[in-house]
Amino acid sequence: MTAPADLIDRIPADHLPALLAAMPKAELHMHIEGSLEPEMIFALAARNGVALPYASVDALRRAYAFTDLQSFLDIYYQGASVLLHEQDFYDTAQAYLARAATDNVVHAEIFFDPQTHTARGVPMGTVIRGLSRACAEAPQKHGLSATLILCFLRHLSEREAFETLETALPFREHFIGVGLDSSEVGHPPEKFARVFARCRELGFRIVAHAGEEGPPDYIWQALDVLKAERIDHGVQAVHDAVLMRRLGAGRVPLTVCPLSNQKLRVFPDLADHNLKALLDAGLCATVNADDPAYFGGYVNDNLRAVAAATGLTARHAYQLAANSFEASFADAAAKARWREQLDACFERFNR
């Protein structure tokens, strides 16, 4: 912690919501397909002549009553069906980046699921070029940096993941890492051991969803088999004391998504969320939006909701922002600059 602890502790509790909104932060767990708001889904459907099984924006939004991860994914993939052309991917990324800037996100590492699109006949280059063009324009247009992480769908086979990787390699300069997402239970990380070994050989950064609905063993596999540098979600780690010690000692980041966890019934009552316990145990936990259009909030909405429900303090807020910079794949100079901005923000709230 750079800012003096006594300075942070003097910030009045009623300033916390405004502080959470104002402080600079990195977002490290956000699926671009999950940022498609119902209004944009309908607009793109009309532009591309795609028929939707919903009569209106409101009818689609009412369908967001999920009981678990799979019930969400069924609608998620349906929503993504409107993305057909490079401009669609560009527009989607631009909409997210503009929204992230209003939440004082200074850096975003954005997940994308190419198999969701290539399975529908959309070329890999169409997906990556559209998203990459928006990311390249982000500093000038929105005042933040943005990079891409390609995710393999774990409910599909390792062979299909290899095929996706090979198809993406001609565009490798446009994404910095690879991840693993989609249906967790029944699809352990070790299923993809060889493809992640190949990705490491190629120099990609490695992340993986683990320990959202799946057991702590999936987190162990992500660390030991895939060699993941970050664990996406990871909230089930609290059920394994040895794992908690490893995560803390190694400063292995956890990209936690509170509203997603609530919406998917991992923590039906947000007051029961274990984010505070993760932070108090010294883990490098961060807060992110996951699929904000579906789960009811962007990163600041997540921060405010979990802080109010679990009693987070200004010190927790500072740690979350600092953790997000530490956990990012940005260079040291950018991280140092963001920490200075974070300190300045907390000093302003202490006046």
CATH label of the domain that carries residue 161: 3.20.20.140
- Mean pLDDT lowest among 51-65, 85-99, 310-324: 51-65
* Residue indicated by tokens 């108090």: 280
What digits encode the pLDDT tens for the residues 65-123?
Answer: 888 878 887 888 888 999 999 999 999 999 999 999 999 999 999 999 999 999 999 99
In a domain? residue 6: no
In a domain? residue 266: yes
In a domain? residue 263: yes
Which residue range is the domain that position 225 belongs to? 12-349
Q: Where are the beta strands (DSSP E) in 193-306?
A: 205-210, 230-233, 254-256, 285-287
3-state secondary structure of 203: coil
Binding residue per annotation — 31? Answer: yes
CA distance 314 to 5: 10
Binding residue per annotation — 232? Answer: no
The number of angstroms, rounded, from the C-alpha of 110 to the middle of its chain's C-alpha atoms is: 7
Residues contacting residue 184 through CB under 8 Å, at least 6 positions apart: 69, 154, 209, 210, 212, 213, 214, 218
Rounded average pLDDT over 249-266: 96
In a domain? residue 2: no
Binding residue per annotation — 291? Answer: yes
Which residue among 33, 37, 109, 212 is the active-site one? 212
**Bigger pLDDT: 217 or 10?**
217
CA distance 41 to 221: 36
Rounded average pLDDT over 310-334: 97
> Which residue from 89, 88, 84 is spatially nearest to 174, judged by alpha carbons?
89
Binding residue per annotation — 209? Answer: yes
* Residue indicated by tokens 């390249």: 136
201 is catalytic: no
CA distance 173 to 175: 6
Is pLDDT at 320 greater than 90 in this prediction? yes
Amino acid sitting at position 163: E
What digits encode the pLDDT tens for the residues 141-158?
Answer: 999 999 999 999 999 999
Segment holding 107, helix H or strand E: strand 105-112
In a domain? residue 7: no
User: Is 310 within 8 Å of 276 (Cβ atoms)?
Assistant: yes
In a domain? residue 5: no
In a domain? residue 3: no
CA distance 43 to 229: 37
User: Is 222 within 8 Å of 233 (Cβ atoms)?
Assistant: no
What digits encode the pLDDT tens for the residues 116-131?
Answer: 999 999 999 999 999 9
Report field, pTM of the whole predicted structure over 0.75:
yes
In a domain? residue 283: yes
Residues contacting residue 51 through CB under 8 Å, at least 6 positions apart: 45
Average per-residue pLDDT for the chain:
95
Q: How many domains is the chain built from? A: 1
